[in-house]
Structure 1
Amino acid sequence: MAPIDESPLPAASEGGAAGASPDPRTRPVKKVKNVSQEVAVAALDLLNKKREQAVKDHNYEQAGRIHEKMKQLEDQLGADYHSISTNPVLRKGLLKSGKGLDHEEEGKPLLPLEKGGIFSAANPFKTVRLLRSSGYSQTATFGLLFTIYAIVIVAEMALLRIGMTIFQIESISDMFTVGLAASNNTMAGGTSGVRVTAAADSGGHAILDDL
């Protein structure tokens, strides 16, 4: 009869049998390091594709791990991936900005508009660029621009009509007639004033001569 080996058995690791590697599905998800917003947005795009592929392959454990990494990146950016992928203004603002969005600044515009002077002329090309960068399609952009200019023209015509009614001007040609008459009256008044001044001067000299 062979002797019985009473030496202690090797201790089993937490992952299972001795020497076996732990189950990758039970490993904790590593924390994502702070990265720039451009890198974070690009990483979210890649992770979202991998998550969709994992769900398609019924690898739900892998999809869950990817989802946790995406949540960490979303916390850094201060916005969820759905909003970033569906809102071009938000996405462009994140790519241009140097730091993450604060929750207090989520309601503020991401693309500050350049303020023009009060008397500066309108720039339709700048308006088109702003509308296009805000996510409007080409058809919607030109349709909205046409509507704005139509409203402005109608408002100007209405103000002109109100002014003609107040000053009792029946047609636009009468406006030039009234202006010409006012100019002639001003010139006539100036001429008569010169004559009066000349007469006063001659009368004054006559009075001086009588002394």
Structure 2
Amino acid sequence: MASILIVGGSPRVAVDVVRFVSVAASGDTAIALAQRLQGSAEVDLLLGVDAHREAAAQRYSDRAGLEAELRRWIASHPTGAVVMSAAVNDYDVASVEAKRSGTSSVIAPTEKLPSGADEVVVRLRPATKVIDQLRAWGLRGPIIGFKFEAAGTVVASAQSLRARVSAELVVANSLCGSLQALVDAVTVHRYGDRTALLDALAGRLRALLAAGG
């Protein structure tokens, strides 16, 4: 039976030793797609630690953990399919600075940000794109990507992502919820609601896996 890894949720990005920031990502899409594909493929579910804690799944907490799990799975299933529905952070924390009474101090990642600061400055820097690294890690099977942004730009961004990473499909979701589409190399398939989109995506994945990717 063909293998598929569905990745959902979001990694935590540490601000200090006890605090973190994260993207609001429920993991609902990953769960719903995994349910649709049961019996059609060997489905592995990889979720962030904050997504659907009751669900049976492998877990990751941060970017390092996410990347390690992806590398491990790809090493065992190089021709499998990877569905990257996770909301992976575009930025990492570069530095954290606390200001109090006119004095600034840099907070190391191993330290705790003190209470009572007058101001806290968190500087971010661009992070590498996980989906861009899947081929370099040895994945030869299909990639399914996701784009989530304004309705006026999301289809073009999905087309760009598909070409950049050699994805089979990219799911285009608009922030306002008015646009739900599957973007492939030929056309843009639009759907009236989320359920119809997920049903169509599951059907496309079954066909891909049956054809050997």
Normalised by the length of structure 1, the TM-score is 0.17
Which of the pair is proportionally richer in helix? 1
**Structure with max Cα Rg:** 1
Q: What TM-score comes out, normalization by structure 2 length?
A: 0.17
Higher RCO structure, 1 or 2 (CA under 8 Å, sep 6+): 2
